[in-house]
């Protein structure tokens, strides 16, 4: 595997050193190569040393075998690693516990799961801190769970793969940017000492539509073999795309970003005008080594201006003492996920997340022990719907790095992590996945032996396992058209479907999932049915039916939105309380923010909406009459950090008293503060750009204070209010110093906002 993660994220982890004793010249030469991370040369030197005179010092032989096995491990030559680890465990009993784990990992990567299970068991017995031994021992008792949905997928080996490593694709302008160690420039290229392969650069293929080509048998070309790459290759026989057209050649992504060192995995903002990428050399090409003599990975950003990537900057949390790499923006660009071996983690490399706001970076936070293990977690990617994908050799898998998914709620993997299973995962390393919300199509990287070289990029498509949901009138058996079918998972609302004239709604179901389907229609009592895919059905299409009884109940439904942008709010606990019989119903909103309840008539009721860091919203309703069949309402939530511009609070030039129109707008704020008596806000005032900075700061502070005094005079405790002036630091419309603007344009900047700083 020729990959920047193994190369540098873990480069400083060679642990063994020989004692201060006389060594043969051959052993000294081998150790020098090992200490320089030149594992190809180290393998040759250690093998030569071990083949030489049999009358060697037993301690030297033992340590040479340990380092030889470790070198094969770093080169991903799992067959030779297994061979040497097998000899070690047969001939020596005083081995560190890690030897047994490395042996188990090599066995698993060679598909020998029963033997791997025994080694993991021994590893668990020899130490009690690392739980991987016990977890893998149990996991390998039944391998079927890794293959439950394998028949649903079809894989494609991409025709852009080269004889060198190709991996970590990312969507970009209808094409793919990816990492490659190919050398297509015709210029002498630096060779990486680790495994004697060229350094990594970013490449681009402009059209993904050309790439989905079925796998075709060909022979591996002589000279393309890399240590650790065995078996026959399968690649497209000709360089033609899926549409039959000649395949467009992959091109260098950016001569500005590519340097003579490694450029690795990258990510783009949604508008694709900002890139964050991995690089291992220092600023402006100056090498920056850590105290242990290793160049660590760092993250850099760049912006696209007029088609060129410019303003390359280091991210502020880089360090010369540890690595940060493998960036992935969240779909809304508010967070960046990345891998790092910084101090304080759970294992080798962990997944971290950092807030991102208009070019400003927060402080990285470890994703926690639900995501991170004693092993290595890396290559994060977040799809729509807050599904975090990453690769790990610490969670139970088929061998090497496997791809996992964690559904995030408020940044927490609330259901743990799941192995995505075969065929995306194999006994080798599988990583760098990018996919859609439903994991129906996408790309990933793997060094499975069917690839061209050690790492290749694959496309995948998942066939739909269709489930038809039929809704019927329970009395007549008539199909009910235009009935809502709410899809629920683990008590949380998901999509809402509508039945057709046949009373049918359909969806593609995920494997290993428990569903609840709730049918809702005016004039009928709601009913639901559960459905599980924990066991697989061989039928390509499955059916389930829901029968509804006619009822005079009232259907109560609506949408929860955030007040700041009027977008649907997910993860909100919505409770309907019948104030007559005190009964309650609860549901958690999904991506559409919707909720539905079946309510008995002639009873008052209350709807409560609750979510962490949002003010609890309560809405009370009077009795519903029997003739009232449907009640629809939308509720808005105020959240910590939300900023609202008070549209009518403007000020006369150089004045800070409250005008009549401003007083009316502040009365709306007063009503909010009375509804939420625990809410605290910051009143933020701004000026236009005229006058000096110092004068504008004082003026804006006076204006913010005037708004605060107005609210205090209306009975709001001053302890709930903060006033702050921002002067001309946050101009809205470009009317800065030296720009001619109308009086109306300047007035837009003389404004007051309020920001929610605390709720309860």
User: What per-residue confidence (pLDDT) applies to 275?
Assistant: 97
pLDDT above 50: residue 339: yes
- Pick the more confident residue, 157 or 760: 157
pLDDT above 90: residue 248: no
Distance CA 617, CA 601 (A): 23
- Identify any residues that bridge with 548 across adjacent strands, giving them in sequence order: 473
User: What per-residue confidence (pLDDT) applies to 352?
Assistant: 98
Residue range 560-609, pLDDT digits in tens? 999 998 999 999 999 999 999 999 999 999 989 999 999 888 889 999 99
pLDDT above 80: residue 727: yes
**Structural domains in the chain?**
4-145 (1.25.40.10), 151-462 (2.120.10.30), 464-550 (2.60.40.1120), 552-639 (2.60.40.10), 643-758 (3.30.1330.60)
pLDDT above 80: residue 721: yes
CB 172 within 8 A of CB 156: no
Beta-strand pair 643-650/298-305: unpaired
- Identify any residues that bridge with 492 across adjacent strands, giving them in sequence order: 489, 588
- Whose tokens are 């681009």? That residue is 204
Sheet holding 721-725, edge to edge: 643-650, 751-758, 680-685, 721-725
Q: What percent of the chain has pLDDT over 70?
A: 85
The average pLDDT across 469-485 equals: 97
User: What per-residue confidence (pLDDT) applies to 237?
Assistant: 34
pLDDT tier at 703 (50, 70, 90 boundaries)? confident
pLDDT tier at 651 (50, 70, 90 boundaries)? low
CB 299 within 8 A of CB 293: no
Burial class (CB in 10 A: 0-12, 13-18, 19+), 344: exposed
- CA-based torsion, 277, 278, 283, 284: positive or negative: negative
Please, which residues have CB within 8 angstroms of residue 53's CB and are 6 or more apart in sequence? Answer: none
Q: What percent of the chain has pLDDT over 90?
A: 57
- Identify any residues that bridge with 531 across adjacent strands, giving them in sequence order: 515
User: What per-residue confidence (pLDDT) applies to 191?
Assistant: 45
User: What per-residue confidence (pLDDT) applies to 5?
Assistant: 47
**HEC string for 185-248:** CCCCCCEECCCCEECCEEEEECCHHHCCCCCCECCCCCCCCCCCCCCCCECCCCCECCCCCECC
CB 363 within 8 A of CB 353: no
User: What per-residue confidence (pLDDT) applies to 216?
Assistant: 37
Mean pLDDT check: name the lowest of 104-113, 224-233, 317-326, 579-588: 224-233
pLDDT tier at 657 (50, 70, 90 boundaries)? low
Distance CA 103, CA 109 (A): 10
Distance CA 405, CA 419 (A): 7
| 660: helix, strand or coil | helix
Cis amide bond preceding 655, omega within 30: no
User: What per-residue confidence (pLDDT) applies to 428?
Assistant: 93
- Pick the more confident residue, 214 or 498: 498
- The mean pLDDT of the chain is 85
pLDDT above 60: residue 283: no
Residue range 47-99, pLDDT digits in tens? 999 988 667 788 899 999 999 999 999 888 999 999 999 999 999 988 999 99
CB 327 within 8 A of CB 40: no
Beta-strand pair 643-650/751-758: antiparallel
The average pLDDT across 694-710 equals: 89
Report the interhelical angle of 113-126 vs 132-139 (nearest 10°): 150
Nearest CA to 267 among 331, 209, 357? 331
Tokens for 82?
């297994």
Secondary-structure breakdown of the chain: helix, strand, coil percentages, each rounded to the nearest 5? 20, 35, 45
User: What per-residue confidence (pLDDT) applies to 23?
Assistant: 61
User: What per-residue confidence (pLDDT) applies to 649?
Assistant: 59
Residue range 189-198, pLDDT digits in tens? 444 444 445 6
User: What per-residue confidence (pLDDT) applies to 230?
Assistant: 30
């Amino acid at each position: 595997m020729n990959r920047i993660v193994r190369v540098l994220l873990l480069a400083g982890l060679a642990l063994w050193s020989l004692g201060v004793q006389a060594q043969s010249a051959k052993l000294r030469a081998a150790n020098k190569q090992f200490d320089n991370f030149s594992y190809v040369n180290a393998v040759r030197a250690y093998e030569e040393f071990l083949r030489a005179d049999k009358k060697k010092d037993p301690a030297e032989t033992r340590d040479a075998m340990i380092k030889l096995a470790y070198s094969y491990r770093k080169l991903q030559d799992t067959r030779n690693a297994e061979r040497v680890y097998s000899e070690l465990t047969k001939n020596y009993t005083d081995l560190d516990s890690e030897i047994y784990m490395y042996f188990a990992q090599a066995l698993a990567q060679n598909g020998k799961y029963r033997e791997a299970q025994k080694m993991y068991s021994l590893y668990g017995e020899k130490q009690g801190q690392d739980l991987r031994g016990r977890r893998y021992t149990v996991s390998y008792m039944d391998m079927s769970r890794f293959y439950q949905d394998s028949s649903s997928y079809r894989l494609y080996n991409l025709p852009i793969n080269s004889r060198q490593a190709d991996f970590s694709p990312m969507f970009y302008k209808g094409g793919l940017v990816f990492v490659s160690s190919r050398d297509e420039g015709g210029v002498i290229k630096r060779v990486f000492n680790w495994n004697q392969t060229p350094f990594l650069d970013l490449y681009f293929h402009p059209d993904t539509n050309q790439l989905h080509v079925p796998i075709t048998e060909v022979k591996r070309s002589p000279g393309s073999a890399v240590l650790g790459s065995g078996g026959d290759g399968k690649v497209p026989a000709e360089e033609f795309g899926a549409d039959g057209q000649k395949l467009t050649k992959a091109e260098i992504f950016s001569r500005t970003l590519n340097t003579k060192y490694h450029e690795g995995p990258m990510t783009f903002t949604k508008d694709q005008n900002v890139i964050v990428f991995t690089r291992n050399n220092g600023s402006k090409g100056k090498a920056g080594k850590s105290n242990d003599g290793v160049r660590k990975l760092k993250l850099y950003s760049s912006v696209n201006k007029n088609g060129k990537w410019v303003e390359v900057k280091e991210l502020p949390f880089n360090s010369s003492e540890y690595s940060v790499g493998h960036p992935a923006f969240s779909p809304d660009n508010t967070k960046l996920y990345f891998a790092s071996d910084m101090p304080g983690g759970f294992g080798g490399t962990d997944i971290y997340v950092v807030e991102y706001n208009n070019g400003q970076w927060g402080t990285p936070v470890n994703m926690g022990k639900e995501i991170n293990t004693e092993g290595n977690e890396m290559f994060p990617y977040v799809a729509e719907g807050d599904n975090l994908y990453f690769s790990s050799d610490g969670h139970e898998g088929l061998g090497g790095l496997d791809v996992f998914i964690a559904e995030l709620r408020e940044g927490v993997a609330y259901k743990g992590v799941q192995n995505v299973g075969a065929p995306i995962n194999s006994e080798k390393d599988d990583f760098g996945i990018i996919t859609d919300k439903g994991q129906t199509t996408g790309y990933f990287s793997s060094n499975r032996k069917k690839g061209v070289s050690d790492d290749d990029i694959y496309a995948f498509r998942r066939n739909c396992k269709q489930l038809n949901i039929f809704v019927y009138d329970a009395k007549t058996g008539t199909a009910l058209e235009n009935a809502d079918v709410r899809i629920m998972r683990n008590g949380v609302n998901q999509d809402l479907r509508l039945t057709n004239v046949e009373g049918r709604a359909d969806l593609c179901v995920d494997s290993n999932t428990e569903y609840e389907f709730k049918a809702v229609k005016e004039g009928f009592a709601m009913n639901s049915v559960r459905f599980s895919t924990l066991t697989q059905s061989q039928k390509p299409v499955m059916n389930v039916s829901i029968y509804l009884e006619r009822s005079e109940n009232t259907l109560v439904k609506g949408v929860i939105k955030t007040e700041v942008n009027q977008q649907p709010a997910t993860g909100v606990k919505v409770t309907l309380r019948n104030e007559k019989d005190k009964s309650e119903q609860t549901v958690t909103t999904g991506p559409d923010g919707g909720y539905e309840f079946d309510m008995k008539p002639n009873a008052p009721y209350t709807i409560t909406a609750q979510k962490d860091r949002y003010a609890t919203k309560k809405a009370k309703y009077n009795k519903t009459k029997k003739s009232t069949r449907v009640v629809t309402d939308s509720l808005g939530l105020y959240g910590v950090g939300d900023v609202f511009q008070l549209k009518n609070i403007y000020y006369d030039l150089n004045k800070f008293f409250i005008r009549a129109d401003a007083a009316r707008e502040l009365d709306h704020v007063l009503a909010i503060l009375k509804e939420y008596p625990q809410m605290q806000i910051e009143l933020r005032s701004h000026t236009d750009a005229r006058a000096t900075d110092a004068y504008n700061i004082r003026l804006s502070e006076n204006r913010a204070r005037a708004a605060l005094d107005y609210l205090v005079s209306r009975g709001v405790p001053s302890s709930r209010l903060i006033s702050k002036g921002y002067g001309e630091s946050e101009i809205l419309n470009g009317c800065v110093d030296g720009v001619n603007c109308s009086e109306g344009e300047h007035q837009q900047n003389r404004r007051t906002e309020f920001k929610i700083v605390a709720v309860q």
